[in-house]
Amino acid sequence: MIAMLSRFSAFSRAALVLGLAGAAASPGAAQPVATPVQAASPGSGLQIQWEVRNRFRLFREERDFLLHAEALRSATVLASEQALGVQSDGRGWARNVVGRLCIDPTGRVNEPCTRDNVKESYLTPTEHPVTVRLTGAIPVGATCAWSFDDGEGPPRSSTLDCAEPINLRVHYGGPTQVAVEVSSGADPALRVTETIEVRDIFIAGLGDSIASGEGNPDKPIALSDEGFCFRSYLGGVQGQYYRPSRAGYKGGRACEAPETLQVWQRQSAQWLNPACHRSLYSYQTRTALALAARFPHLAVTYLPLACTGATISEGLFGSQRARECVITKSGAKCEGNVNAQLAELREALSAAKRRQPNRTLDLVLLSVGANDINFSGMVADVIVDNATERTLFKRSGVIASLDDSRAALQRELPQGFARLREALKPLLGGDLSRVVYTAYGNPALAGGAPCPGGPAGFDIHPAFNADPARLARVVDFVQSEFLPQLKNLAQCSGGVLCRDPVADRMTFVDRHQSAFAQHGFCARSANDPEFDRQCFSPRGDSFDPDIVSAASQPMACGIGASNYRPYLPRARWVRDANDSYFSAMTYPQGLPSSQQPTDIHDATWGVLSAVYGGAVHPSAEGHAAMADAALPAAASVLGLQSGGPEVVQEPLPPPTMVPGSAN
């Protein structure tokens, strides 16, 4: 693919000279003697092949699409993610792409969007760029006379060496007839024909933090090797502890030197959409991108709307609190609330139909339900072990009981799903099979068994310790009650009543769950990155407890925190609290002012910075495995052929590290 690009620019210059726009020869010009033409026989092997260029239309620049098209060639999404992770030295491919999109950080679609130097309507394209080439046993030195007829005006024509591909833009909404006459020596010219008709599919991504890509900032936080002081709720010097600071932060790092959040946030991680922690690593984005890469006659118009923290009521139907602020050169821009996802989708569809009445929504990717049963409250109940923090968090509702979640699973969630079905049906022509509901993976299984618990992976905060008994109960609830009920709700089965069990049944995906059973947050491997093996202790003593020495080096291993790489392959596909802090180090800036800390050393900030960046959420590898599971289902719903290779369930061999890498 990339080798072909070197010939594209040569054609572009030739097209201007040879009149691809279809200018006719002047009446007085001498006309060439007609050459006999015959249709190429099937045995000649000559064919016209074509593909849509930069066909994942969220990307403004073709180089970003080609990176994935090449990585996905005969590979799973998971294998491509692992390869790109190594290629980027663990810093992640998205850090260079997130600033080159047709959707801005506030979530607004750029209309028009300039893609590869051409202004296009993102939601309602009128044409698509394609590459056309002749393949087969082409005679050496043969000349090709091309003709492109879309029925609107005279055909466009050009004559080139047959080895040269042709770049052009074709009308969307109807076929373009292509003919080429292949001339070589004195032999009669051979005529080959083909029809180009691009299918532009419109995909929307809806749901919660699993759908948005939480845990995987497009540009992760840069860490300092020095320490930063946090207080705990105990107060006093004994309640202070040091953890790695943000690189570039010039303010006070000691607890006695309070600073405001505004100073700290200038070094924040970057997201496709900070308010919702939308990420290009999300399984929804990777599924849509893989469809574009695998099917060359498609163009994919993708609208990501999922938002971390969303429930069916607050998030899909109603607005919700923003997670983080958009950081600009002039400072932070905080919207406060995020618009309801269904309202945003309806507005986008209405705007598209005003310009193109036949424009329809082809596919919805959906994951929702965990927040409706307060899954984060169950996680807090498992990992918050210190008595002081447990008491405070129970009073504030941060910690939830398993019984409360079970009650919500039996009552509120079925009601919410029924309401959601009725809202989605008119957007999809009454056919909910075009909703691909992808279930969650159990985050706390490794080797097929529940994680053992303990502080490992959660020692970023001194109050955290995954209690084994509480963890085992939650794992069993998720596996035996929550996940089966989600399947029943999506498929109108297991006693779940739907108005029309056939039309109301969503396409359900859970084939990734067996893979996740091997790769929960406690999974470890000898092939994990060296920093993980050296510095994230299985005993839970990763950090220096001495507040004097930890101020200059908080890691007990003595290795700088800046050597952590969030996007290198590892055994765990679920971020633990250490990963969350080291990748995103987030404080929910969208919270009301009454809940904001007095300064960034505050105890509340210390807790939330350890978990609000995506603790107990899939890593980029986990999302890639989910995309591998969702891809065949999405392709089937769209009437396409197989979505590609099966999901890889085992870790890859040890990666070859980039020369000079700290890992």
634 by Cβ neighbours in 10 Å (0-12 / 13-18 / 19+) ranks as buried
Determine the pLDDT at residue 123: 97
Alpha helix segments (H runs only) across 356-480? 375-383, 387-396, 402-410, 412-424, 468-477
Determine the pLDDT at residue 224: 96
Q: Which of these, 344, 496, 472, 360, lies nearest to 417 by C-alpha position?
A: 496
Residues in the chain, pLDDT under 50: 1-34, 643-663
Determine the pLDDT at residue 3: 38
Q: Which of these, 521, 505, 508, 557, lies nearest to 662 by C-alpha position?
A: 557
- In the chain the domains, ranked by start, together with CATH numbers, are 77-112+201-637 (3.40.50.1110)
Tell me if residue 130 falls in helix, strand or coil.
Answer: strand
Determine the pLDDT at residue 497: 87
Report the predicted TM-score, pTM, of the whole model to 2 decimal places: 0.90
Count of Cβ atoms closer than 10 Å to residue 448 Cβ: 9
Q: Which of these, 511, 405, 349, 385, lies nearest to 458 by C-alpha position?
A: 385
Token readout for 27 is 């009446």
Determine the pLDDT at residue 328: 64
How do residues 488-531 score in pLDDT, each as one tens digit? 999 999 989 898 888 899 999 999 999 999 999 999 999 999 99
Determine the pLDDT at residue 42: 54
Q: Is the dihedral of CA 89, 93, 99, 105 positive or negative?
A: negative
Determine the pLDDT at residue 661: 35
